[in-house]
Amino acid sequence: MRRLLLLTVFIATAVLVQTWLFPRMFPISWKPDLFLVMVVYLAFFASFFQGALACFALGCLMDVFGGNVLGLYGLVYAALFFVIRILVSPINIETTFPFYYMVALGTCLELILIAFLVVFFSPRGGGVWALVTFGLFPQAGLNLVAAFVLLKGLQALRRKAFWAADLPGPSLEESGL
């Protein structure tokens, strides 16, 4: 219960940062996608059922804050959760390298899924390909930086704050990249 509460607070903080801080810190074009990093985090460290539902809910929130058709990101994040869950199931998640790898891979998959859904379901969504083509590398870079900062912050929090020790995450002995 305590772990679930901590996880909820952790995700809510990420939502606040993504929706209120990032739009003011970064120009209108590129900003880190903490929601995606959270999806990867949930796929790594949350339970299967809670994680999947949380990812769907995160996606729906993203749709509201992004002005998209409700359900677009819900579907994308739920699908990403399952794909990443399958990919990480046979590997050791105590180290941080697979996490960064999955953030980069998740960015690519997210873009492909969004572009596919927007183009396939919306007759006017063709322009999204231009953003996807030019935006993949800067977005992946920003997401990796966000994931690095988030994991470092998480590890420091777990090490120094007794109340955060139950937060799931990679091994505290891990030094990072």
Partner 1 sequence: MLDWLRKFRKLVFAVILLVAALLFYSYHLRYRNQTTFFEKTVLEVTAPLQKGADYFFHTAGRWWDSYLWLVSTAEQNRLLLEENRRLRARLQELDEVALANERLQRLLEFRDTMQLSALVAQVFAEDSTSWFRTVVINKGSADGVEEGMPVMVAEGVVGRILRVAPSESRVLLVTDPSSALGALVQKNRARGIIRGQGGYLTMEFTLRQKDIQVGDLIVTSGGGGVFPSGLPVGHVVRVGRPSYGLFQSVTVLPTADFFRLEEVMVLRREQK
Interface stretch with partner 1, choices 6-14, 44-52, 96-104, 162-170 (CB under 8 A): 44-52
Interface stretch with partner 1, choices 5-13, 68-76, 155-163, 164-172 (CB under 8 A): 68-76
Q: Residue 43 interacts with partner 1 (CB under 8 A)? A: no
SS3 164: helix
Site string for partner 1, 80-119 (x = CB under 8 A): --x----------------------------x--x--xx-
Q: Residue 40 interacts with partner 1 (CB under 8 A)? A: no
> How would you write 68-112 as a 3-class SS string?
CCCCHHHHHHHHHHHHHHHHHCCCCCCCCHHHHHHHHHHHHHHHH
SS3 67: coil
Q: How far apart are CA 158 and CA 102, in angstroms?
A: 22
Q: How far apart are CA 175 and CA 152, in angstroms?
A: 9
Interacting residues toward partner 1 by CB under 8 A = 16, 18-24, 27-31, 33, 48-49, 52-53, 56, 59-62, 64-72, 74-75, 78-79, 82, 111, 114, 117-118, 121-122, 124-128, 130-132, 134-135, 139
